[in-house]
Amino acid sequence: MAGTDLPASGWGGGSTKATIDDVASAAGVSRQTVTNTLSYPHKVRAETRDRVRAEIQRLGYRPSAAARSMQSRISGALGIELRTLGPGYHNGLMAPLLAELSRAAGIRGAHMVTFGEATQESSLAAYEHMWLTRRVDAFVLTDTERDDPRPGWLAEQGAPFVSFGRVWNDPAFTRWVDVDGGAGTSLAVEHCRERGYEQVAYLGWQPGLSPVMDDRYAGWRTACTAGGLPVDDLGGTCADDLGSVTAEALSLIDVMGGRGAVVCATDLIAVGVHHALAVRGLQVGRDVGLVGFDDSETARLHGLTSVRQPLDLIADQLVLMLHDAFRGQAAPETSGLLLRPALHERGSTRGHDDGRAATPATPTTPTTGTTNGD
C-alpha cells in the first residue's frame, strides 16, 4: 500500500493566544454562553450564537484547555461526514470507504471520527462544531458537487482537508483523489461489445444533477461513438427510485430489441434494470447484458458485472495527502490524483448462451490528471 512506511507522528494542531474571556468580552456575553455555543449550541439563542461564533472566528479562538486535555486523546482524529446529501440519500460506497480509511489512518497513527446532521442545510454547522471544539484535526470530504460550500468554508477556517472527488468549483485545490468515471463506463461498453452485445444503452441520472454522473454518461457516449454503436434513443435518464428506473429500463429494452446490454451509472440503478428484465421475462446476461458501477455488495448479491473503484488505494492516498499537509509539504501544483477503475465480471454479461465463467477483475493502476465533469 502507498505510504505505509511513513512515521505515525506529525498529526495534531496548535492553539492561538485568544482566550474564552476575549471571546466573551467581544461578544458581550458570559464565559458560560461561549462554552454553550461551542458544546451545547441548542441552549443558545440563534442571534447570540451567531454573534459568539463570529467573534470566535474573528479572534481565531480555539478552546485551549480542551485542546490540551484532548491532545493525547484525539491527536490524529480525521473527521468524515455521514449522510452528506441528507437522510434519504444512500451511498453504497460509504461503509467500505470508511473501513478502508480507518485502516489507512491506523497505519499512520490516526483514526476516523464520523459525524453528521439530519439535513443537508445544516451540514456546515456540523463542520463548524467539529472544528471549533477541536473534535477533529482535519476532514475528509465526500460527495463533492459544483457549488459545494464546504471546501471554501474549511479553507477560510484554515482547517486541513482532502477530498474524495474533485473540488469542482476550485481548480486550484489539488489535494483530492477521484476515479475516472468516464473511463469506467467506456470500459463497460468495450466489455459488452467483446461479449457480443450489438447495442449498449445507458441509464443514469438526468444531466446536470451531478458532475460525477455527467462524467459517467460522457464515457458511455464516447465509447459507443468510437466503436460505431448507436447512441440515439439509448441514453436513458431516471430518478433515484425503483419505479422510475423500471419504467425507463423497459423503454430502453423495447428500443434495443435483442442482443443488447445496459450500462448503468450505479449498482442500484442496475438492480432496477434487473427488475425490468424480469418483468419482460428476459434473462439477465443471456438475453440482455447488464453492468453496474461501484462493485458494491448489491452488485455481488445480484451477480452483476460492475465497475470497481479502488477504495484501498483511494484511502491510502487521501490519508497520505493529509499527512503531508500536517508535515508542511506543499500540495501538488497541477492536479489531484485521478485513478482508473477496473471491471469485475459476473454472470450479468456472460453473453448469449455463452456459459463462460466470470473472470476476476484486473489490478488497478493510478493515472494523474483532470477531466471535465460534463
Mean pLDDT by 10 residues, the chain (374 residues): 39 60 91 81 85 87 51 70 61 87 94 76 79 90 90 90 92 94 98 95 94 96 96 93 93 88 96 94 95 95 97 96 83 88 97 50 41 34
Q: Which three cell numbers stand for residue 169?
A: 468549483
CA atoms within 13 A on the CB side of 112: 22
Q: Which three cell numbers stand for residue 361?
A: 477483475
Q: Which residues contact 186 (CB under 8 A, 6 or more apart)?
A: 219, 220, 222, 223
**pLDDT recorded at residue 94:** 87
Q: Which three cell numbers stand for residue 111?
A: 483514526
User: pTM value?
Assistant: 0.76
**pLDDT recorded at residue 89:** 54
**pLDDT recorded at residue 329:** 78
Cell numbers 502507498 label which residue? 2
Burial class of residue 10 in the structure, from the number of CB atoms within 10 Å of its CB (0-12 exposed, 13-18 middle, 19+ buried): middle
Q: Cβ of 125: how many Cβ atoms within 10 Å?
A: 14
Residue 60 corresponds to which amino acid?
G
Closest CA to 219 of 54, 42, 374: 374
Pairing of strands 342-344, 305-308: antiparallel
**pLDDT recorded at residue 292:** 98
Q: Cβ of 255: how many Cβ atoms within 10 Å?
A: 15
Residue 78 corresponds to which amino acid?
L
Burial class of residue 15 in the structure, from the number of CB atoms within 10 Å of its CB (0-12 exposed, 13-18 middle, 19+ buried): middle
**pLDDT recorded at residue 42:** 73
CA atoms within 13 A on the CB side of 183: 19
Integer Cα distance of 118 and 27 in angstroms: 29
Integer Cα distance of 305 and 285 in angstroms: 10
Q: Cβ of 126: how many Cβ atoms within 10 Å?
A: 17
